[in-house]
Every structure is written in C-alpha cells, then in structure tokens.
Structure 1
Amino acid sequence: MKNLKNIFIVLFMVLILMKTVSATEKENIPIELTVNYGQDLTNDNTVILGLNVDEEVKKNDLKVQFSIDNKNWKGYDSKKDIWKFGISSKYQHYYPKFNIGTVAGNRDIYVKVTDSKGRVGYGKTNIVYSPEKNNPRIDSINNLTKGSGRGTETDPYIVNDKNIRIKINTINAKKVSYSANGKEWSNWKRINGNTTNLNIVLGKINSKVFLKTKNEYGVESTSKRINYIIDKKSPKLDISTKYNSFIATNGVVKFDIATKDDKSKFVDFNIIINLNGNLVKKSGRVINYIKDKLTYKEITIKGLPKGVFNTKVEVIDSAGNKNIKYIKIKSLE
C-alpha cells in the first residue's frame, strides 16, 4: 500500500508539472519585431514596424499593441490610417508611420500580442534616431603644410613633403576619418569642439585624401576629396643679359630671368641687392604659360649708385622649393 501511495504521489506531481509546462507554452507567443526593414538608424521619427508571428498562431484572432516606454500602449486603425492609445491593432506584417518621439538617440520599441485564448507574446527592438538637422558635415578644409593651391582637381595643393597636416572645420561632428582611396578608412579620431588637425602621410606624387565625419549617433557625412601633388624638385633658373656682364648705366640695370617648373603654374622671384650693407629688394611673379618651356621676364632696377654690388636672385615654386643664383652688378654712374 505504501508503494502504491508513492506511485500516486509521483503521478500527481508529473501531472502538475505537465500542466505548468503547458500553461507556460500557452502564455507565450513567439514573435519577431523589426523597424524600417532592419535598419539601425533613421533621420525620421516616424518608422515602419514589421511583425512576424509563429505560423501556428491564428493571426486573425490577434490583438496587437505597441509602445515606446513599455507602459503606454497604442494600436493602429488601418481603416482610418491613424494610431490611438488604448486600442488594439489587427495583425498585419507591416505597420506604417509609428511615431518614436522627438528625442534623438537610441529609441526602444515594444510590442504586445494577445490571442483569443489569452496567450501573450512580447517583443522589443530599437533604432537610433538622429534628425537631419543633426547630420554631420565638413564645413572647410585648410592645408597647413607649406605650399599653395586650393585642393581641387584643377588646382590641387602643391607641397614638397609627403607628410602633410590638415585643419578641418566641422558641423555636428564628433569623429573624423580619412582614406587614400575612398574605400579603406582610418580609425575614427575624436573631434574636440568643431575643429581638428590631421597628420597624414601621402603615398604617391599625385595623391588624393578623402575625409568624412560622423555625429554622436553614428550618422556619417558624405566624404570630401582633396587633391595633392608632391613636388620636391627646385624650379629651373637662368639669368641672362644682352651684354657680357651685368652693367648699370645711369643707375639702371636690365637683365632677364627665365624660369621653368613642371608642376607649378607660377614661380615667385626675389632679387636682393647689397648696396654696401643696405639691402634693396625687388619681388614679383612669373606665370608659367607653357609647360616644360622656359618663361622669360625682363627685370629693371633703377637708382643704383656707382659701384659693384653682390646680387642674390631667388625663385620659389608653388611647393616652396627654391633655386638661388648670385650675380654681380657693376654700376657705372
């Protein structure tokens, strides 16, 4: 009798356990909730919700509600195309124009599904909301390396060093990244304030640098491209005169300088005459109209006293490369 009693007790416990498992299964409806077809980020605070329910569940009997705080629930009236608090939606695969609020950042969305038997299923998803007004962008780019140009395709920055430094002014940006090909990007560098400087090593003589930023929510800006030319070669310089030497008559001397540079559109010149300790300087610019050909410019210097004067002729290309030559000017009057 005692053994029989024990058997009944075991069977009773098994039945209770089976009912508990069955009740648990009935209380849960397997569901999956998505937002904007699986996107992680949105600029719009109205989104599309996607709902998938287990195939064995009778979908026509379901009551569906959504919430952004897991407390206040609302449903979608498909006939009127409106959302209302306190009502339930009918089941459908997608629910349009669900408002996630106006607060930027990570937004949680909850769903509650109930069938006619009282079983309930819960789901949750999230998306990052960043309004368009918060979108990051690059306001301006300045080359801090010695050289010239504007960084455009037709007017690239011309520098004489592969190690360059760039100043970037940004709007709504927290991080910046750069690339040499627009495909492989550097690690993100944090921006303090709206301005940051980048040290970049150029790889080729004709180089491109791509820049992009992102805001605190992960929204990335469109990339901007700047163009560089590395020029380490000094410009060519010839100095010539119609006479055998550089002679000044009546305090006036004339001679020609000829320059050539295959990468710069212009070459600056400085002529410095040492008048017994007093330096007289004449400066100007020679435009290189024809590539790979010397461009001549006539130089006229007036007011020279009588004597022989050491003169320095210096030309500087757009990258800062220099060529220097020295001549002696003999003034007869």
Structure 2
Amino acid sequence: MTDLAWVESPLQLLSVLEARHAGVLGPVVVRVRTGSPALAATAAEVARLGLPSGVVLEDATRASAGRGAWALGDAFSGQAQATLLTGRAPGRVVLVDDGLATLHLLGLLSGPWRQPLIRARAKAGLVRRGLGALAGARLRSLAERGRVTVFTGLPVPSAVLARANRVGISVVSHDFPYLRSLPADPPPAERVVMLGTSLVANGLIDRGEYLRWLNGRAAVEPFVYHPHRRECPQVLEALRADPRVRVHDTKLPVELSLRGLTSWHRVVSLPSTALSSLRVLLGGQGPVIEGVTVPHAWWTEQADASLRTHLSLFTVGPEFA
C-alpha cells in the first residue's frame, strides 16, 4: 500500500524524505506544491543527490487521504483540513516538521482545551475556525486510536512531549540520517556564516536595528550571509553593497547547502528553526552554532509576548529538549 505526502516547503520535503529513510513511511508518493522556487530547487537537488528508495516526487496542487499513511507538513492549511474531513480517513497521519508551526500544532492537539487548528497570530473568521475545530477533532480521534505520529528533528519541550503521549500521539525524533548520508558541497571560505531571517520582512523586528547589528558583526569579521527564503529585499540590497559581506544566493535550505561546515566554522543566527536542525544535523563535531536573542528594543508592536517567548526556544542548544 502506497503512502501519500503533501509538501509545501523545503523543510517539509526534507522531513518526509527522512521519514521514509527511517521507515516511518512506506513507499510514498510525494506531491510537491507548485509555484515555490525554493521548493522546486530543493526537489531538484534531492533528486540529483539520490532519493530514498520507494519515493516518487510529483507536481500537485491537491492531495487526498488514502488508506495508507498520509504525511502532512502544514496541518493548518484549509485545503489539508478539508481533505481530512472528506472521504476515507487515512490509515495513519504522520505530521512532519514545518518550523515553529510544528510545536504550535503539537501544543494545540495535546492541550486540554481542544482548541481549533489555527495558525499562531492568525485572525480567523467563524468559518475558518469551524474548519480548524473539526480538523482538530478528527486528528485527536485518530490519535486516540494510535494513528497519529509526529516525526521531528526539533527539540520538543518535555511537558509538551508528556501531554502528546497522554493523548495518544507518538513523537518520533530523528537526527537527519538521510541528509548526512549524502555527499556535501565544499564549505564556504569564510569562517562566519550568518543565517538570514524572515522577522524583518514579517514586520516583527526593526530593519534599522537589524542592519546595525549586521554592520557591527561585519566590523569584527567578514562573513557569508545565507538569506532566508522570505528575506527583506532592503536588507539584501544593503548587504550586497557591503564589501565585507558575501551574500550566498541559493534557493536551497541551509540543511542542504551547509552540510559541509566544519568545526572551524561558526554559524550565527537570530531565533530560527535552522538553529535546531543544524545542531542536530552537524552534531557535536561540527561548527559552533550561536543563537542570538532578539533585544527587546528591536521588536515591533506586531510581535506579541507569546511569540517572543516561543521564538526564544530556538536560540538555545540541545539541552532544551
């Protein structure tokens, strides 16, 4: 019986491939959302490097649950939720990593208040909240029958893990063995690697403060900058004009493009899922990975206290888990 996966981001795709490599998924058809250059580039690269056995990549704009397992990255998608509620229920649901949203989803599913599955900070109307409530009920029902697995490379707080286990959700951790098995590109010549952020483009931190911080870092040591796929264009324009900075233009996620880093290198980033995934992927013998807490003065009014606290989880090291 063939499993089905529906992916909408590079990290979701990599997570599905890791799930297949680990045997959490059987032979699987992976339906890759169209219209995303970063996702298309990631799909092409993993196909070039070598997919796990039993994986077929397909372009698709829709996915439907079948009798096998259904791997899902974005359980907050209205289309995905509607699919959960129509037709035959999948034999199992495997929820794979999708950045910060993964822990938010796990908290909603395992919390005591049976909240609807709505994205953090989303302003959902009555219809959308109703759909999220029904989808949450469907997933909780499947979990009670042992048919929901969360497959993650992220550190899960022990309290959240305990609640998930109580409601029947199986949480399976991994350390990216599929990615580590692939040949890596040569590492950058620069010692310092700065990871970009979406916080500026999303209006959560002040652009001027962020650029002043990067300028201070460049004054200490030149660095290579890996833009976020939702990077602020004005930030990139300023960095490209700075002779101390090399902007590495690639559509590939850092989990693919930075697999060759050595213990000589140093990775620096504001709160990001990539901090956690690179720590797990590169291990104790890899580079120093420095997560930088966002100073209070940088935050805009759009960043509420709960979001700031949640983001802070992604600056600490593996001991958080």
Point out the structure with the larger strand share: 1
Task: Considering Cα pairs closer than 8 Å and 6+ residues apart, tell me whether 1 or 2 has the greater RCO.
Answer: 2
Q: Which TM-score band applies after superposition, normalised by the shorter structure?
A: under 0.3
Point out the structure with the larger helix share: 2
TM-score, scaled to structure 1 = 0.19
TM-score, scaled to structure 2 = 0.20
